[in-house]
Chains A and B, each alone.
Chain A
Amino acid sequence: MRALALDTTTPAGSVAVIEDARLLAELEGDRTRTHTERLPAEIAQVLAQAGVARQDLDLLVVATGPGAFTGLRIGLAVVQGLAMALDRPAIGVSALDALAWSARAPEGGAASMAVWMEASRGEVFGATYTFGPDTRDPVPDAAPVVGPPAQVLADWAAWLPAGTVFVGDAARRHADLIGASGRFTVHPAHPLLAGALAHIGRLRALAGQAGPPHALQPLYVRRPDVELERERRAQLVPPTP
């Protein structure tokens, strides 16, 4: 199976092509230009590097989020256009899953992992993962969250096992906060995500989870500002300081 994966959750993002479990090519995006400007040109580039024609792709994988809302939608729309015009199945994979997978593979590692990604506004997107000896496909313990790092950490501290390894750009940035309890460590990895996305997407497609691109949905985690503002006004949510 040949799969193409696209990540637009960060300003640079990345693209990758795999054939079965083998990574054929992976490319970091040009962060000086917008995603729309350089797509699908960067996809053409990575396919050329891999020596794969677009008609020979069997699966399209896209990072669903979290990240800047507009970036997520560009990634999805690009993959939707490809999947429809090529008549191939598509699957969305969370960037949080890809980070957990890439920080753990290939040598195994911690049984408990936490992923923190920058969410702007001084907040982080977070999710936790529990890996068993046979776990290949990372599935978060609960729905991803967004919030100020100290609050997210405090919410998790009661049940997150000691020895949990944190990974992600926000984990590196808040390494002091995470390390302060002495119970958690921070993984230094900051990999390109497209390769990991492709591998996870392939595993899930083999399990029958890929389908038409209509159903692809961004993983926003954070709700639209207008809705949050309306709730604040209705005092359903206390105002944030």
Chain B
Amino acid sequence: MLMLGIETSCDETAAALVESTADLERPWRIRSNVVASQVEIHREWGGVVPELASRQHVRDICGVVERALAEGGAAWREVGAVAVTEGPGLVGSLLVGVSFAKSAAWALDVPVVPVHHLAGHIESIWLAHGNVPLPAIILVVSGGHTSLYLVPKAGEYRLVGRTRDDAAGEAYDKVAKLMGLGYPGGPLVDALSVEGQAARFPLPFTRLTHPDRNAPDRDHRFDFSFSGVKTAVLRHVRLRQQELGVTALPDQDVRDLCASFQYTVVETLLRRTFKAARWFEAASIGIAGGVSANRLLRAEAVRRGAQARVPVFVPPLALSTDNAAMIAAAGLRAHAAGRIGAPDLNAVPNLVLHANSEERPPPRP
């Protein structure tokens, strides 16, 4: 089965061809993976402008799909199904991909397979590394999402924690903006933090109150919050501006603040992830999403995994930032399970990943 994947949930127009293989350990093979990034358009505005993103998707989608077919060496008639991100995301952006995918699939007389964007990110681990030991704890961390999923068996996703406010990548963008560094913030803060001293500006770790604070494990979740650490950075910036009587902080201050912010965010992400892995006795850990490109997060995750004797899987950058190969892979999984789209398929901007994802996670095995 050759799956054409289409992803337009935010500011990347992406198309890819992924085929199923006979190899049980590596069920999918990438034939092509094409992404047209809009980052240059949105940099001017300091963030993604939904209307401009939608306009660009319409400009790019034909060329991106055409290249995915050409690079994959496939003709349209070889496409067995079309997988598309149905949500969550920016509605105007999603609608371009969903409308295109539905009509292309109908023209070919093949099924359209709706895919949850985060299911795509989770499956990027399987796509890059083949089957990983189960159960697995997967951290999906990007500009729009910070969620922890338990995968008890392949293709089953249970939400066990998520951010209650900003996504981690969003916090990076906001911190970069308030220090005047530019957009997107992740790579900029990551680069500056290399020469910074994290200890100089200590930032607080957010503690979340559980419904029953005396028995937190009774309703166990591994939620995140990043708005507090962002505000703490802002306070340090204001304080230093007053102390020094300047608006632009000295370079070393900026580097030290970046290092402290990065340390705090990475610590928060990994503490929760490893705590969840212990709680669910996970046999492996995966980290997906654009923020997994972060150098400290990658290095620390692997180091702690070795320490805890839990293998840690991080897909290469091309599969961790938004892409369509992961959507095609998740589409192959859904298609094999008989889940295909109805004729009235629509984009769902606040789509929840599977009905069970809002349920309380299962107790410790």
Contact = CB atoms under 8 A, between A and B. Distances in A.
Interface string A105-130: 00000000000000000000000000
A226 B52 contact: yes
Interface in A11-54: 33-41, 43-44, 54
B68 to A, nearest CB: 11
Greatest chain B CB density within 10 A among A37, A73, A78 is at: A73
B95 A82 contact: no
Interface stretch (B126-134, B157-165, B240-248, B340-348): B340-348
A82 B107 contact: yes
Contacts of A77: 57-58, 61, 95-97, 99-100, 103
Contacts of B62: 80, 84, 212-214
A36 B92 CA distance: 11
Given A77-B96, A224-B52, A40 B58 contact: no
Given A69-B92, A73-B92, A87-B76, A81 B99 contact: yes
A70 interface: yes
A150 to B, nearest CB: 27
Nearest to A44: B106
A70 B50 CA distance: 11
B362 interface: no
Size range of the interface on B? 35 or more
Contact of A78 (B66, B102, B108, B343): B102
Contacts, number: 111
A54 B51 CA distance: 32
Given A33-B344, A39-B102, A74-B99, A84 B65 contact: yes
B58 A76 contact: yes
A30 to B, nearest CB: 11
B59 interface: yes
A214 B62 CA distance: 5
B36 interface: no
Contacts of A43: 103, 106
18 contacts: A36-B99, A37-B346, A39-B99, A41-B343, A73-B96, A77-B97, A77-B100, A77-B103, A78-B100, A78-B102, A81-B99, A81-B101, A82-B107, A86-B107, A213-B62, A214-B63, A226-B49, A226-B52
Given A73-B55, A82-B104, 7 more contacts: A77-B99, A80-B61, A81-B103, A81-B107, A84-B62, A85-B76, A224-B52
Interface of B: 45, 49, 51-52, 54-55, 57-59, 61-63, 65-66, 76, 91-92, 95-108, 343-347
